[in-house]
Amino acid sequence: MSFYNQLQQQTQTAREYLLDAPIIRRCFHGDITLDDYIAFLQQAYHHVKYTVPLLMATGAKLDDEKEWLREAIGEYIEEEMGHQEWILNDLSACNIEKNKVRRSQPSYATELMVAYAFDAIARKNPLYFFGMVFVLEGTSIALADNAAKQIGQKLALPPQAFSYLTSHGALDQDHIVFFQGLMDKIVDPKEQAMIIHSANMFYRLYGNIFYDLSPHHGLSEVA
C-alpha cells in the first residue's frame, strides 16, 4: 500500500469527526444562514492568511536531503499567494467590510490550529506541515464545490461571493495529485508516522473550527 493510501486509511476516524460537525451536516441539508457563511469565511481568512508564512517556515527548516521537497514548497507558495484576498472579496460580496474582517480576531479554535502548525514546524519537524496540507486540501475537494452550490441556492448570493470555495474545489484537485506524488516519496517509517499523527491532529483542530460555527453566530459576533 502506498504511503498516501496509508495516510487516508489511518486518518479515517479523525476525518469523520470533522465531517460530523453540525454546520457541515446542516449545510448539506440546506439549513444554512448568511451568518453561518460569513462566520466560515472569516475563520477561513484568519488561517488562510498564514498559508504562505507556514510554507516558508517549512521550507526553511527542511534539511539538504529534502531539497526536492523544498522545491515543491516553492511551487505551493506561488499557487497559494494572495488567497486570503479572495476570501475578503467574497465577504465584500456579502456586504461585509474588508477592513473590519482584517481587524477582527480569530476564534479560539482557529488561533489554536495556526499556533499548533507553527509550533510543530519549529519544535518537532517541518514534515508536520504536510499533515495540515492533507487535511485542508482533502476537505476542500470533498466539500467545497458542493457547499458552494448548496449555499448559493439557499441564500441567493451572487457568484462573486464564492470565489474561495469554487476555486479551491477545482484547484485542490490538482494539488492533491501533486501532494500524493510527494507523499509517496516519503519512505522512512518515522517520517510517515509524523505525517499521520499530524494529519490526525489537524483533522481535530480544523474540525473544531467548524464545531465552533454554531447557528447562534450573529453578524455582530463574527464580523
Q: Sign of the CA dihedral 73, 75, 80, 82?
A: positive
* Dist. CA 72–CA 158, nearest whole Å: 35
- Give the CA dihedral 82, 83, 84, 88, nearest 10 degrees: 110
* pLDDT band of 15, cuts 50, 70, 90: very high
Residue 83 inside a domain? The answer is yes
Confirm if 90 and 83 have CB atoms less than 8 A apart.
Answer: no
Domain that holds residue 141: 3-214
Query: Which residue's C-alpha cell is 536531503?
Result: 65
Give me the pLDDT at residue 1, please: 83
- Give the CA dihedral 131, 138, 101, 153, nearest 10 degrees: -170
Residue 52 inside a domain? The answer is yes
Residue 219 inside a domain? The answer is no
CATH number, domain of 103, equals 1.20.910.10
Residue 88 inside a domain? The answer is yes
Residue 221 inside a domain? The answer is no
Residue 220 inside a domain? The answer is no
Residue 57 inside a domain? The answer is yes
Question: pTM here?
Answer: 0.90
DSSP state at residue 63: -
Q: What is the mean pLDDT of residues 192-202?
A: 98
pLDDT in tens, 107-141: 999 999 999 999 999 999 999 999 999 999 888 77
pLDDT reading at 143 higher than 90: no
